[in-house]
Structure formats: structure tokens, C-alpha cells
Amino acid sequence: MPADVDALLLGRAQDGGVPQAGCRCPRCTAAWIDPARVARPACLGLVDGATGESWLVDATPAFPSQLRDLLSDTVGTHVDVAVPRLLAGILLTHAHIGHYAGLVHLGREAMGARAVPVFVSASMAAFLTANAPWRQLVELGNIDLCVFAAGEPLTLSERLSVMPVAVPHRAEWSDAHAFVVHGPTRRLLWCPDIDRYDDLDGGLRRLLLDHRIDVACLDATFLDAGELGGRDMRNVPHPLAGDTAVAVGAARAAGWGGEAWLIHFNHTNALLDDAGAAEAWGRERGVEIGMEGWQWRI
């Protein structure tokens, strides 16, 4: 009997999470008091229910609890709990802290992992190999770097493969990729970070249509252009949630019929507040608001 393959949303916040270090904004203050308001950085889990093999897409600063949730039989409602899960690998989108800093937990001071496959682009591999402390993970064999190329499919298991897609995103330390996850029944796009959808050749529309995406998890870091107060938002370009919804709308107008889920919310983004209000905001615009713990059968 073929068991199911599931994708789990293990985090929906921007790299710094909520509450963010040193922040006294009402949203972060509330999250210090009420654990239900905590939001972990964006992270996707993949589980092959037949073999128990599981993968993390991005290693965030919340790696310990996200790994625990990935491997725990208690997460999700319809996962085959009979098969124990094991970490079969980690895929990394790029070298910003919310997406790879969690690798530190695999090293000698913590897990002392053995040869965990870490799937990365060539530029990400060069970064991890050249710089401490990441270099030590490679040298001690805690991780085993597996280099992928954009546009070339990556086989994770018999029933799961991933297509890396290069995305335009400020490349201080590495280039950036989105992933199209091919499950036995559906295709899921994981795109937590992108500067602008318009910078993609053919826009988001072409990406969703060409890859026949069923479920798209999309960068919607900010809600309002003035959200960062005194900081210049041009230094951290990301789509506004409304821009993401407009890009999704253009895809729908061109015949795309999938589900669009917004993720990677900055601590300043009001979509993190009242779930009902956020849902209503999304419903009006044809998008869903990513919620931690959500899962998609793929």
C-alpha cells in the first residue's frame, strides 16, 4: 500500500522570527508573554510516509524544535504514524541567517551528526566550505554537501524529487533558489525569499504555469511599505503581501488554478495578528495565510 507524502509548514515568519531579539513592538511583546503568538522562521518539512524518510527545507535558528516536529509522530492529522521518521537530508535555499544558521546544531557541540546530506547550490557550497563555523561541519563529516544545479531535478527518494529554480534575491553570500517539490500526486513550490516577482523571467505567472504548481508557498514578508520605520526598505527588498497577491492574480488570469499560501512574515507584518482578520484579507485577494502546522498531501 503506497503511504502518503506530506509537506508540513514548520514555520511562517521571516528569518528573525517572532518575537525578534531586542524588539519591543506590541507583536513581539505579546509573543514573549503568550507562546501561542510565537512564530518560527519559514521552514518546510517533507515526509515520505512509506519509509519515514524526512527532509527539512531550510535550517532555521529554530532548528531544534522544527526537527523535533518533523520527526515527531504527533504532528499532523493524517500521517502514517506506524513508520518511525528519520532525517534523510536538508535542502537550503540561500545564505541568510533564517535559512541556514540552524546547521550549527548538527556539529560537535550539539548533535554530532554523521554525514547528513545537505543539498545546496555551488555558491552555497563554496560559502559553507570556506567559512567557519560551517567549514568544520564539512571537515568533521557532520554534513555531506550535495551540490544541485538550477533546472536539474534532484531525486530525494523513489517518490519525491525536487527541481531547484534560481530566484533573484540579494546575494551577499550566496545565490538563492526556490524549490519545486514533486510528490506522487502534487507539486509544491517553496519560495520564501525573492526581491520582486517581476524580476523573474515571465513573472510569477510563468513559474507557476510552466512548473504546473498545485500549491505555492510565497514570500510576503511585509504588508505595508512603511513597516520598517526608519530603516531603508530598499536594503532588504521583498514583495509586499499585496504585491504577492497581485502576482498570483495575474497567474490566475492566465489560467493557473492552484493554491497560493503566503509565508515569511516579518515581525512587523500585521498578517501575523488575528487569524480571522488575516484570513479575510487573504480571501478578498485569492490567497491563503500560511499557518504553522498546516500540511499538504503531495
* Residue 118: its H or E element: strand 116-120
Per-residue interface string for the shown chain with Zn ion, residues 117-156, x marking contact by CB under 5 A? ----------------------------------------
Beta bridge partners of 231: none
Long-range contacts of 254-258 (CB under 8 A, 24+ apart): 254/205, 254/209, 255/209, 256/205, 256/208, 256/209, 256/213, 258/208, 258/213, 258/214, 258/215, 258/216
State the Cα–Cα distance between residues 12 and 219, nearest whole angstrom.
10
Looking at the Cβ atoms of 15 and 214, the one nearer to Zn ion is 15
| 177 is an interface residue for Zn ion by CB under 5 A | no
Query: What does the alpha-carbon distance between residue 59 and residue 133 come to, in Å, rounded to a whole number?
Result: 15
Q: Report, in Å, the least distance between residue 53 CB and Zn ion.
A: 26
Q: Any residues with CB less than 8 A from the CB of 184 and at least 6 apart, and which?
A: 2, 5, 159, 298
Site string for Zn ion, 3-32 (x = CB under 5 A): ------------x----x--x-x--x----
Helix (H) or strand (E) holding 68: helix 63-71
Piece of 136-144, 151-159, 177-185, 261-269 that binds Zn ion (CB under 5 A): 261-269
Identify the sign of the CA torsion 252, 256, 257, 260. Answer: negative
For residue 278, how many C-alpha atoms fall within 13 Å in the half-sphere facing its CB?
18
Rank residues 127 and 256 by Cβ distance to Zn ion and give the closer one: 127
Which residues, numbered 185-204, are part of the site for Zn ion (CB under 5 A)? 193
Give the nearer residue to Zn ion in terms of CB position, either 96 or 186: 96
- Residue closer to Zn ion by CB (options 159, 169) is 169
- Nearer of residues 25 and 71 to Zn ion, judged by Cβ: 25
Compose the 262-281 pattern: x for residues touching Zn ion by CB under 5 A, - for all others: -----x--------------
Going residue by residue from 208 to 247, which x/- string records binding to Zn ion, judged by CB under 5 A?
A: ----------------------------------------
Supply the minimum distance, in Å, between the C-beta of residue 245 and Zn ion: 19
Binding residues for Zn ion, how many (CB under 5 A)? Answer: 9
Binding residues vs Zn ion (CB under 5 A): 15, 20, 23, 25, 28, 96, 98, 193, 267
